[in-house]
Chain A
Amino acid sequence: EAQVTQNPRYLITVTGKKLTVTCSQNMNHEYMSWYRQDPGLGLRQIYYSMNVEVTDKGDVPEGYKVSRKEKRNFPLILESPSPNQTSLYFCASRSTGSYGYTFGSGTRLTVV
């Protein structure tokens, strides 16, 4: 089944403890992206990648890192998480020339 898989689905962590949220797609898509969703603010883009080793900042990149070493994977790294990064995170992908993104099921992160 074509899908975007995020892990973990739920995560509670403490301030300052580095964490990685993984994202993997099995559709050979070139574009991948990370969004965060907060009440009243909608979904906002954190980072995106147009292909392997090509990444760029979205609207809210502060406090996040990404890497794209393989086409299928696009992990989101929080080096020193803070409570304001408590949010619902979504990974998305699409192929070049396609108009529709496929989203993962989300990762709910709580930083205490």
Chain B
Amino acid sequence: DAKTTQPNSMESNEEEPVHLPCNHSTISGTDYIHWYRQLPSQGPEYVIHGLTSNVNNRMASLAIAEDRKSSTLILHRATLRDAAVYYCILSSRGGTASKLTFGTGTRLQVTL
């Protein structure tokens, strides 16, 4: 699987937007980009995924660069409950691969 690179940690103020970057310069044409997050003392939680176009859902937005070598997870208004480790993952085989390869993710701190 192609590798992703994320900052170790980021901070945000509550009620402000957060942009979490992910670099994946070796992404292949069939790799989907997935984002999961892991809240303290919980299992990972699916956030969003995409292939080429930007995607929105109730939790977040995913902006994918035109060359697909990077992407950004956008939380429109961070709350204290969004404090978590966010993982950017590439998934081969059309996005329904049997394995997710987790890196070390970005730890997001949200402050009042």
Contact = CB atoms under 8 A, between A and B. Distances in A.
Interface of A: 4, 31, 33, 35, 40, 42-45, 48, 50, 56, 58-59, 90, 92, 96-106
B86 interface: no
Interface of B: 32, 34, 36, 41-46, 49, 87, 91, 95-96, 98-105
A48 B36 CA distance: 19
Contact of B43 (A42, A45, A98, A103): A103
B34 A99 contact: yes
Contacts, number: 56
A38 B103 CA distance: 12
Interface centre among B43, B44, B96, B103 (most CB of A within 10 A): B43
Given A97-B96, A98-B96, A99-B32, A43 B46 contact: no
A90 B43 contact: yes
Contact of B98 (A56, A98, A99, A102): A56
B104 A58 contact: no
